[in-house]
Chain A
């Protein structure tokens, strides 16, 4: 915990004549948003602890174009996509991990037809693999018996069918998973997707994140776990709206794992 961690960039490795096994795509939220940076840092600590040979693009990374595309601006999306693909292909990147399900979905599903073909995994899938391979182990069950609920993000869940990897991590942490009524395929959106994060909601009678946070709080869990920087923010705001921020935490699975390993 004490020693500062050096986060290598692909450019740096290239100069040394090396290549990362996996590129960590940080994403805009993970890079700039204060809350999401904590998730990024937690994940980097885990990668470092396990000894994964990874690197980031650093300042060469650029928005995937997902919010532009969802807001209807296909032009801007494709410009972003092609610029990113040019960078990734120049570095001969083959495998990418990302802590953002929106980046995951876009690079995995929408980049291939534009010339960007990579093996893309979400960080919860990587964490689950590391647990399965015995590379990521936990000591004294820090979450034993702790009630944790899990919020399926739309872009990891329904959009890509990843429901089990995150739950297996919670299992490995020995937490007591309490599901919300709307979970897995029927999970309710946090309200941020489709570029909603970047604008005010239309007039209605409730904010979507409040509706979802209320549902999560009703489970009685003291931790709401998530897999997406935008969900984390939305759910955190929803918990605040219910004045429960002192008793209930909203944490990404990477943060839970880092906590469990005291990183």
Chain B
């Protein structure tokens, strides 16, 4: 009896599906790369040693995740599971292309131990994802329920978690069917692997004929790999890009003190022209615009930040403005920045690379949000992948102040006091040292 019906057709089908999945994945990634480089050029390659260390500690080592231990440890399980179980995906791909059964099983006891370990991981990932679903949809953790989480953002989280649960279940059931076939000595299903978890699922198959179990095995095998290929192509559209981008994002993250806000060189030149022309570069053209009005005025790193954001909301839950009920939410700043980069990217796809749709990031982010920031860096500190929402807020604020003169009247007053009295309050500069007479 032939237990491997239409084997060659399966192989051909697999290769086609794999090719399509990789093609569309690469296409979308190229588009995202283009969108990120809509931002301004910024050379970031100093102190490479420190950068590699940051990446190893923060992205690979998840050091900032465990600041909140429950979510942190669950996340490490899913992360380790994702990375290691993907080694098995490599085997699945080989089997799919060459029609082999567990191509890597020649590794013998190492293979058996690995498969057993992956099963335990798969179970842990499955449980962690169920807990994540519970945390997000049953418990009332406030950061999952801010206004920006309405609609797609929450659905996105739900889809990802369900996909992971289903994928892990398929993997375990595939193994269960496989071991039943192995134990029956069915041709092609040679004995390989150890199954500490799926061992408990074999009862489901014992009453079926071997030919039926083969079909089950194939169905779960196909379900698992198609699921993974679907997930691969879902990720670039979702908040889940951090699984790739967390690494470059931490590498390129700011090394200078968090309190250091970059000085705008174009303004330095203008000020030099006024105060000390000998230091100024007379050939430097006056800038077209001060501050940030659109994603094209941000650094490409700010846009990488936006695409890396997983919308976990740790920034927002530590933002003093948000905690006290103000409209500002650093997570929303990141989501808006990505949405705007996507929108501009689409407009350029449709109308050519030089096209600008006339919209701006300020259409997404209101002045009320920008004004509420205390520049305290809590959001920057809280981000598990070193995203900096404050830089974007600050750039947008600079535009409002410098280009639109849009600011609260108290700030206008403060500025004129600094200009005229050398202090933000209306005191006479000649009184500055009066306190020395009272000591």
Contacts and interface: CB of A to CB of B under 8 A. Distances in A.
The reply to whether chain A is a binding partner of chain B is yes
Interface of A: 4-7, 9, 26, 28, 30-33, 37, 40-41, 44-45, 56, 58-59, 61-63, 65, 67-76, 78-83, 105, 108-110, 113-114, 154-155, 158-161, 185-186, 188-189, 191-208, 211-212
A238 to B, nearest CB: 12
B190 interface: no
12 contacts: A40-B435, A58-B432, A63-B424, A81-B263, A154-B259, A186-B381, A189-B374, A198-B411, A199-B408, A202-B326, A205-B324, A211-B324
Interface residues of B, number: 70
B205 to A, nearest CB: 51
A114 B257 contact: no
Contact of A69 (B261, B326, B407): B261
A142 B227 CA distance: 68
Nearest to B372: A202
B267 A75 contact: yes
Contact of A32 (B258, B259, B276, B425): B425
A120 B326 CA distance: 35
Contacts of B153: none
A65 B418 CA distance: 8
A159 B377 contact: yes
Contacts of A70: 261, 375, 394
B337 interface: no
Contacts of A71: 397, 401, 407, 411, 414-415
Contacts of A193: 374-376
Contact of A76 (B264, B378, B418, B439): B418
B325 interface: yes
A188 B320 contact: yes
Nearest to B382: A186
Nearest to B416: A76
Interface of B: 67, 256-261, 263-264, 267-268, 270-272, 274-276, 290-291, 318, 320-321, 323-328, 368, 371-378, 380-382, 394, 397-402, 407-408, 410-411, 413-415, 418-419, 422-425, 427, 429-433, 435-436, 438-439
A61 B400 CA distance: 29
B408 A200 contact: yes
A80 B414 CA distance: 13
Given A109-B256, A198-B411, A202-B372, A75 B271 contact: yes
Given A158-B381, A193-B374, A211 B425 contact: no
Contacts of A201: 324, 326, 372
A260 to B, nearest CB: 18
A28 B415 contact: no
B275 A79 contact: yes
B397 A32 contact: no
Contacts of A114: 263, 268
Contact of A160 (B257, B321, B418): B257
Chain A CB count within 10 A is highest, among B259, B263, B323, B397, for B259
B438 A41 contact: yes
A205 B325 contact: yes
Nearest to A199: B410
Contact of B424 (A44, A67, A159, A204): A67
A211 B318 CA distance: 12
A159 B257 contact: yes
Given A41-B435, A159-B257, A191-B320, A74 B264 contact: yes
A160 B260 CA distance: 9
B413 to A, nearest CB: 8
The 8 residue pairs across chains A and B that have the minimum distance between CB atoms: A159-B259, A72-B401, A205-B325, A194-B375, A204-B325, A109-B260, A189-B376, A62-B422
Nearest to A28: B423
Given A74-B290, A74-B402, 8 more contacts: A7-B439, A56-B436, A109-B256, A186-B378, A198-B424, A199-B411, A206-B325, A208-B320
A70 B391 CA distance: 11
B370 to A, nearest CB: 9
